[in-house]
Amino acid sequence: MSFRILVVSVLLTHGAIAGPLDSDTEGKFTNATVDDLGNSSTKELASLLQRKRKRSDSIHREVLQQAGASVPNDNGKFPSSKKTDKQEDEFDWLQALKKLGERKGLAEVSATVSILRALHHKNNTEAATAILDFGFTPHGSIYRDECGRRLRHMAPHSLPALFRAAYQRKSSPKRKYARYQLERLDRESPFNAVNAAMPHSNLLLELVAVLGENRHREAVHVMYALIDDEDPKLRATARKIVLSYLEGPPPPPAPKRKLKLTGGKKTDDRMPLWHNARDLAKVETKNLYRKLFAEKAPRDLGKATRKIYDYFDKIRQEKNDGQIQQVLKAAKEGNSTDTTRRYYKLTAKYPDVKWKASDALSIGEQLMSEGKSLLTTDSFPEAVRAFSAAVKLTNDDESLAYLRLAQARAAGSNGQPLLQAAQKISPTIVENEAIARNGRSELLKFAGIGCALLAIVLTIFGLRKRATA
């Protein structure tokens, strides 16, 4: 059963559908808005969690307890449970509520749980933040167990929200709770969290920014591992964070104590209990500088770090130059297929390559040629890719018209607006392509007729031969 059908069935069963989604009245929905619950914006869903309610918190708590849900008491303490962590994670509140008979407050509770589920399926930081914040409102604390379950199930997309809350400077129940959720996920280590987010480039970029924003001391090593990353946006973000460690506002100092030495004595002075982010960044910069340049780092570690960045950029450019020459050689030879293949390979690894104007035009011409060839064979997605690359390099009307035309063909019956856009840019290109397309259709039709006639002739010849024998 899909999520949407499950939500609708639960709410229909318990009569929660009665009024508009944005109503101030608790737990009222129309058929249309419940059907579209998953398509509502994150902001709309988050506001629904704060709507007015007809039933009291005690009634909500009673309904959830009858469904077998784990609900904290007024002091925020959860009752002891015989369920394992795995059983708790697999427990489905919506299914449990559906099994209950009619009772006071059931519709309201089902609606709230459904909204939490819809937010979970958004899989973005805004939704995760809304769930986390709701769990620490006076009413939302009743649903805190379900909030945690949703946050864990939507990981790694919940990681930026959890790290932001987990490393607030001021101690709070929410901070403790966020750290607990990270521990349950085995993502309290920035290395583990970043590895989990690796397949999602935008999420990874957001998570790295949050780790830098929080001045997380254990994230320092992660940032230094990313300062030479192939992704230019990720690389730039990590480099900015590293410089902020060294040159930005100092992070909070570690607490100090007199440390116990061997033999039982204590240090004369109070010593920090750990290195903060700046201390660790200094060590990383000095070690890396010595490794790359075989000399001691200068006192100005910001300057030393920029020299490290320049070194990495120079190495990357040298690698780029070799591949760039291969692309240009294929373009000068007029080999559109080889030029396109090499260009894709290069830009997939180094998307921020800078081209000379003459080289960009030369490569763009070959990409255009390849795109036109793909268009004639009805390889529309591949043609769109080739024309898109050509547009980036040439930025002229011809390549843009061909791109819109290829997109229109790829969209099929839905491509009329794109076809009109192509015609507006260049009516001639669209007209010529249509003539060529019709010509190919006629050719294929005659070829089909010819094949049919040949088959008839061969059949008659075979029959005569058999009759003669």
pLDDT, average across residues 401-405: 93
Q: Which two tokens stand for residue 176?
A: 């403790």
29 DSSP 8-state letter: B
- What is the C-alpha to C-alpha distance for residues 55 and 65, in angstroms, rounded to an integer? 15
Residue 354 is encoded by which pair of tokens? 């800078």
pLDDT(305) > 90: yes
Residue 44 phi, psi dihedral angles, 5° rounding: -65, -45
pLDDT of residue 221: 95
Average pLDDT over residues 237-248: 95
Mean pLDDT over all residues of the chain?
84
CA dihedral over 348, 353, 359, 361, signed as positive or negative: positive
Lowest-confidence segment of 18-27, 175-184, 400-409 by average pLDDT: 18-27
% of the chain beyond a pLDDT of 70? 83
pTM of the predicted model over 0.85? no
Position 65 scores a pLDDT of 87
d(CA 6, CA 41): 19
In one letter, which amino acid is 417? P
pLDDT of residue 13: 37
Dihedral sign for Cα atoms in the order 421, 422, 428, 430: negative
Read off the pLDDT of each residue in 427-444 and give the average, rounded to a whole number.
71
User: What percentage of the chain carries pLDDT values higher than 90?
Assistant: 51
Structural tokens at position 227: 């300062």
CATH classification code of 319-436: 1.25.40.10
Quick: pLDDT tens for 4-17: 433 433 343 333 33
Q: What residue segments make up the domains of the chain, in order of their start? A: 1-74+88-154, 319-436
Predicted local distance difference test score (pLDDT) of residue 265:
86
Nearest to 399 by CA among 412, 386, 418: 386
pLDDT band at 148 (very low <50, low <70, confident <90, very high): very high
User: Whole-angstrom Cα distance, residue 57 to residue 54?
Assistant: 10
For the stretch 42-100, pLDDT in tens is 999 999 998 888 888 888 988 988 888 888 776 667 666 666 767 777 888 888 888 88
Question: In whole angstroms, what separates CA 53 from the centre of its chain?
Answer: 35
Phi, psi of 39 (to 5 degrees): -95, -5
